[in-house]
């Protein structure tokens, strides 16, 4: 089967990798986002999928990084004569002319129609369902609303974003291979828009939390542990990031941000409902340090307010 892959981040790489080792597939090309400036120096950084192919030295696979999906690019893809196109977190809307080249299968990291859009994994972690999942669907012009071709799911064990990505990409790789191999045998299932929910892109401000509900803060920590991290705003205006967070309890009432306990490894801070154990803190513009060391440096004690 002649296949074109379209995807950009590490999540896509993890799903694509098993296909590269499966002799059933002839991978013609990878479509990914252009290299982008990174860091203070603005040096160009390649997408994870491009780096993955380069490291594997798979020079026979074309790497295509169009700035736009225009008619010329669509024709170049049509000339490759793919049987299938597999899309995983590519990052751009694909026009109908592209979708008409060959059946386009998308692997989306939620149980559709829940959490259509750009940040489904984070939204699942924030909403904390009993099960997390991943869906294969046949793409159409509407956002993540194509017919469902299959899905896989796993139990919620309070995974954080990093672990859940790893687990879902493992399931997604198996789902992608099964869906492509059995595409003509699968009876698609229509999505119902009334059951749908949507999520946008994650921005830095998503990480701001208020120490009101300990459970909500903890779930935000699970969702944003890689970026943008969670942080509270001090009365002085600086931000304080919270790391190595654990939910202590979720029912007792405390002053917002009250320091309840200090030991050699961590501190416990109260919320209006519940309390949290914090291992590390990072004040804006400074290094991340153990929470007890931060408390000592600020000359805070039990009963004081953290920030």
d(CA 25, CA 19): 7
248-284: per-residue pLDDT in tens? Answer: 999 999 999 999 999 999 999 999 999 999 999 999 9
Give residue 231's pLDDT. Answer: 98
Mean pLDDT computed over 44-66 = 95
d(CA 294, CA 14): 38
24-42: per-residue pLDDT in tens? Answer: 999 999 999 999 998 777 8
Evaluate whether 206 touches 50 at the Cβ level (below 8 Å).
no
130-168: per-residue pLDDT in tens? Answer: 999 999 999 999 999 999 999 999 999 999 999 999 999
Mean pLDDT computed over 198-211 = 97
Nearest to 98 by CA among 108, 85, 88, 89: 85
Give residue 20's pLDDT. Answer: 96
């Amino acid at each position: 089967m002649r296949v074109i892959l379209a995807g950009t981040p590490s999540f896509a790489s993890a799903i694509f990798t098993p296909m590269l080792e499966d002799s059933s597939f002839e991978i013609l090309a990878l479509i990914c986002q252009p290299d982008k400036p990174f860091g203070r120096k603005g040096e160009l950084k390649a997408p994870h999928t491009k780096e993955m192919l380069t490291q594997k030295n798979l020079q026979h696979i074309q790497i295509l990084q169009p700035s736009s999906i225009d008619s010329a690019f669509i024709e170049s893809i049509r000339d490759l004569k793919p049987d299938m196109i597999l899309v995983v977190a590519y990052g751009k809307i694909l026009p109908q002319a592209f979708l008409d080249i060959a059946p386009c299968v998308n692997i989306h990291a939620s149980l559709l129609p829940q959490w259509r859009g750009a940040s489904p994994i984070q939204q699942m972690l924030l909403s904390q369902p009993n099960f997390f999942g991943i869906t294969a669907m046949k793409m159409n012009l509407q956002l993540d609303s194509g017919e469902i071709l299959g899905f896989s799911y796993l139990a919620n064990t309070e995974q954080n974003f990093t672990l859940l990505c790893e687990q879902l990409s493992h399931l997604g790789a198996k789902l992608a291979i099964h869906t492509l191999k059995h595409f003509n045998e699968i009876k698609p299932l229509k999505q119902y828009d009334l059951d749908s929910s949507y999520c946008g892109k994650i921005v830095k401000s998503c990480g701001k939390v208020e120490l009101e509900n300990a459970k909500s803060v903890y779930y935000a920590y699970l969702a944003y542990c890689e970026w943008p991290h969670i942080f509270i705003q001090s009365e002085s205006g600086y931000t304080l990031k919270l790391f190595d967070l654990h939910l202590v309890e979720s029912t007792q009432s405390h002053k917002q941000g009250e320091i309840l306990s200090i030991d050699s490894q961590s501190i416990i801070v109260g919320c209006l409902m519940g309390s949290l154990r914090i291992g590390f803190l990072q004040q804006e513009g400074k290094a991340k340090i153990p929470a007890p060391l931060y408390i000592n440096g600020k000359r805070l004690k039990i009963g004081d307010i953290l920030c």
